Structure 1
Amino acid sequence: MVSRRTVDYVDLSGKFRLNSFDYHKQYSHFYAHRLREMTTLLLSCAEDHWGKNYSIKKLCDLREEQTDTCIIIGTIYKHQAHKPSILREISEENQLAPQPPREHYADLEDKLILEDELQRVRLYGKVDGRYMASGIVCAVLGSIEEDGRFDVEEMLYYESGPQKPLPTYGYSRKLVLISGINYGQSVDNIDALNLFQHWLCGNIFGKPSSDIVRVIIAGNSVRASAEECESTSLQSRSIGNNEAVEAIQSLDSWFCSWSKSITVDIMPGEHDPANFMLPQQPFHQFMFPKAAKNVSFRGVPNPYACSIDNTQIVGCSGQNVHDLIRCTMIENPLEALRSTLVWGHIAPTAPDTLACYPYVDCDPLILHECPHIYFTGNCDTFETGIHNGSKTQRTRLICVPNFSKTQSIAVVEMETLDCKEIKFTADTD
């Protein structure tokens, strides 16, 4: 058995755990609270960035005859003609055949609108709607024009708040990130999982792995796509359910073996047998009875936040980035992840196009504190980069590859924030 380094761990995911399940509320409360909370945060940012040279106004205070430059704060609404609309789908007036769902909603004709508690105004000028999405709260510097549009000179975002200094201990501590094991559908992963397990236990490559302190499994362990969910016949559904049960039983054995050697946190993913809305709640311990006997095996929510030796880590199983790419013209998952960090919100498109619990008095997806490591799971390829914020923040961004497609994982050195990909294929050197 490999001797692991002892680290200080704090679970910061309490805000993502639901204590009640009331789905009767409207989402207006959620948006209103997001705007109130982020307005408070942006007021100080606006004063630091623009000084006191400009007044901060509500939209109702704007007058077309007053063209002085001012600051307004509100929530972006992106009017998209191609976005799904249940009202349009059930409209009897059109009498159209159902159209196939679009994979991307963004279009050059999309319109950006800023709204607060009472009113809304159309934005134009120095703002690029191609790379923005509904739900972003921002401060805007500009002036109202005669036609009622707001001419934007500059936009300001919260940028995920302050960041604690990255602690240094003088020795190596590594974090392993893996996602998309896809045990229910992929038949090519067994050898790769075996190699990963041997590597985790220090049995291959001749290198000790005592500096690996934790493994985070970022979703889609059972299934990595919705193919099985699309089956319509009762027989095919029964087969799919049986395969899922068998996959969970097999995964339980894998996780039990891993957690005997190291602490393992497992997050649910979009296609796992878990609740659909964000934040997804932790798997029940009865789903993995063998692994659950080990105190080092933990079910955690998605999104997930924790602190390891005072290094702040935040991540999601991929839904936030995938939905953002669908709603914008951002093509690169790493840039989509970077954008959510700049905007100070894990999933700004929730609940507009991404399902989310209807919170009334909070928005747990706001990034009040800038993490040192920020990841998203189930990406087609491994990507990583450093984001340097406007206030000395420095964050390691990681797109964790889909293991069933790439047979690879991401490994982060927490002492330096260096990150690399390790592949577990037959031709691994």
Structure 2
Amino acid sequence: MTALDEIPGNLLRTPSGKPEAELERVSSTYKPLQSFKLDRDRSYKQQFADMYFLRLTKIKPAVEQLASAAWDDTVIGGEPVKKVERVLDIRQGELCWVTGTVYMDMPLKPNILEDVSKDRWLSAPISNKKYYSEDGSDAVTLEDESGRIRLVGDVLKSVILVTGCIIAVVGTENVNGELEVIDLKFPDLPPQPDRWTLTKPPVTNGSSKGSKTKTKPKPKDEDAEMTDAQSKGNGGKIAIVSGLGFSGNDASRALELNLLLEYLLGESLDPAAQRELSQISRLIIAGNSISLEERRATDEEMTEKRAHKKYGYDSSAYNALPSQLLDEFLATLLPAMPVTLLPGAQDPANASYPQQPIHPAMFPQSRPYTANPAATASASTSGKGEEEQVGWFDTVTNPWEAEVDGWRVLGTGGQNVDDIFKYVGSDDRLGMMEAMCRWRCSAPTAPDTLWSYPFQDDDPFVMQACPHLYFVGCQPEFGTRVIEGPEGQAVRLVAVPSFSAAQEIVLVDTETLDVTKVKIAAI
């Protein structure tokens, strides 16, 4: 056969260099936990107050254990510190400690009873960006089933406190009936499971990676960005993105989303970069995939709507384009990698916490990659211990808990941190995430100011196990930190920025839990 470059007058030439080896994407070990899944026949007739009693009952033993170790047999000013079982048992002038639930009495915080009594429900509710008052009018109180007492003292200014967190305080009651706090204790991080507790490590080169290990994230860094040397590991990577904000009316955002798609698929990069991107084993989308920005109607359309005004459902008010674009994005990506989708505040899911998975019917093109509903229902009702099937495309709850590549992962769409942000005068989102871990509660302000389902038998927001990785989506900027607990626990905190605002995606190394951020922008 005659080579191309041997044909006289032919401008074609054979390819130069050696052909690149075919790349294979790293596999992902994945087991989602149904920690926040609600029953289909759930009822909203019960009261919300039971949630606080459940939370206090579950967390109180851990707080009291720490408080007892710190304060028992302690003498201050010649007076021994004693424990009281209830807030009502506190006596003026006695040095004591007690455990209870924090309640923040804040004038700027919405009050549904006051709104109804003043007929404010007739108009749109007023949304405050902050409940925190600079004038010091906010009051910190501690309550249990017996009563409530106001807390005062300088130590309260050095910690983050919001409604719903469980603490133990030591102090004495003053003449005004307030408890002068001199120290307080949080429950701190819960017990942390070993890596590969629920799943088996993959076999490499004919041998397993070993049994359960105590491997934990390395607290090397406190800065917002990791160096390239820190980010490289021996295994794959988990990609986390949030706030995709599909709207269909922004050309520049559409270009950035296409660039993101090409980046994840490795279509527009050189072979060396493609080799790195083949290490991405899973994409996690953490909320707000749909934008609330509505297409602005023209004057002619508005005139036509007024002419054909009708009662009932108006199909012209619904714009299906954003969900269609998201479906196309997922359908293009799914043949290459598995995707986990968490709903957010702007997505087509229930508004109350915990948000339930977005129904697969919203994704006609991506739906074939979801688990078989019949097999999943059969596994859940058989009672034989069969594992529920997981699809390549997994629509999950918000919050969400799973074991990914052996690590216990907890993630949310961001509403829990956004609500805590309203209670405090700080902008430290990572500090709020750390506080939630040390409170052992992923949504302490639910149901007070964060809409929630009224649980009666259990509070799923209480952290039973300490995660290795805790990420929160739809945040103003990227940030990461490693926190440690008293028993050797280590948690990697990651604040994931909204892609529609920052054009950034986060990569987490599955061996070291080191983090890098990647900027995706059209120049």
- After superposition, the Cα gap between the structure-2 partners of 1:323 and 1:186, relative to the gap in structure 1 and judged at 3 Å, is farther
Quick check: 1:124–1:152 contact (8 Å CA) kept in 2?
A: yes
| Alpha-carbon distance change, 283 to 92 in structure 1, aligned in 2, over 3 angstroms | closer
Task: State how 1:235-250 maps to structure 2 within 5 Å.
Answer: 241-243=317-319, 245-250=320-325
Does structure 1 residue 18 correspond to structure 2 residue 38?
yes
Deviation at 1:98, TM superposition (A): 8.6
- 1:37 aligns to what? 58
State the shift of 1:414 in Å.
2.5
Within 5 Å, which residues of 2 pair with 1:381-420? 381-420=477-516
CA deviation after TM superposition for structure 1 residue 51, in Å: 5.2
Aligned length: 418
Q: CA deviation at 1:129?
A: 8.3
1:8 to 10, 14, 29: 29
Which residue, 48, 58, 61 being the options, matches 1:27? 48
Match of 2:285 in 1: 217
Does residue 1:134 correspond to 2:163, yes or no? yes
Task: Give the SS at the match of 1:131.
Answer: coil
**Corresponding residue number in structure 1 for 2:115:** 89
CA contact (8 A) 1:130 1:329 kept: no
2:421 matches 1:325: yes
2:101 to 50, 56, 75: 75
Gapped runs of 5+ residues in structure 2? 1-21, 75-80, 196-212, 217-232, 297-301, 307-312, 370-390
CA separation in 1, counterparts of 2:47 and 2:343?
26
Deviation at 1:146, TM superposition (A): 3.7
Q: Which residue of 2 aligns with 1:111?
A: 139
Contact 1:2 1:261 in 2 (8 A): no
Indicate the larger mover: 138-147 or 254-263: 138-147
Match of 1:128, SS state, is helix
Quick one: which of 233, 238, 242 aligns to 1:175?
238
The alignment status of 1:198 with 2:262, answered yes or no, reads yes
Q: Which residue of 2 aligns with 1:254?
A: 329
Which is further off, 312-321 or 325-334?
Answer: 325-334
RMSD across aligned positions (CA): 2.8
Letter in 1 for 2:234: Y
Q: Deviations over 1:251-306 (max 9, x none)?
A: 11111121111110101100111100000000111111221211310100000111
TM-score, L = length of structure 1: 0.89
1:381-410 Cα shifts (integer Å, max 9, x gaps) = 212222223332221111111111111111
Q: CA deviation at 1:43?
A: 2.5
1:130 to partner: Cα distance:
8.0
Deviations 1:32-70 (A, max 9, x none): 1111111123222333444565543221222225x13x3
Deviation at 1:425, TM superposition (A): 0.9
Deviations 1:335-373, CA, capped at 9 Å, x for gaps: 222222222211111111110000011110111222111
* Alignment-mate amino acid for residue 397 of structure 1: L
How far the C-alpha of 1:238 sits from its partner, in A, is 5.3
1:356 aligns with 2:382: no
Residue type at the aligned position of 1:85: N
Identity of aligned residues (%): 31
Partners of 2:483 and 2:492 within 8 A in 1: yes
Change (3 A) 1:410 1:51: farther
Show CA shifts across 1:150-175 (max 9, x none). Answer: 12121111223022355559722211
Change (3 A) 1:26 1:93: closer
Q: Using the alignment, how far apart are the partners of 1:394 and 1:284 within structure 2?
A: 35
Q: 2:187 matched to which residue of 1?
A: 158
* Secondary structure class of the residue paired with 2:401: strand
Question: Could you tell me whether the CA contact under 8 Å between 2:35 and 2:400 is conserved in 1?
Answer: no
Match of 2:385 in 1: none
Counterpart Cα distance in 1 of 2:430 and 2:70: 27
Counting only pairs closer than 5 Å after superposition, residues 272-421 of structure 1 correspond to structure 2 as 272-294=347-369, 295-421=391-517
Structure 1 residue identity aligned to 2:115? E
CA contact (8 A) 2:247 2:294 kept: no
Are 1:56 and 2:56 matched, yes or no?
Answer: no
CA contact (8 A) 2:151 2:180 kept: yes
Contact 1:121/1:149 (8 A) holds in 2? yes
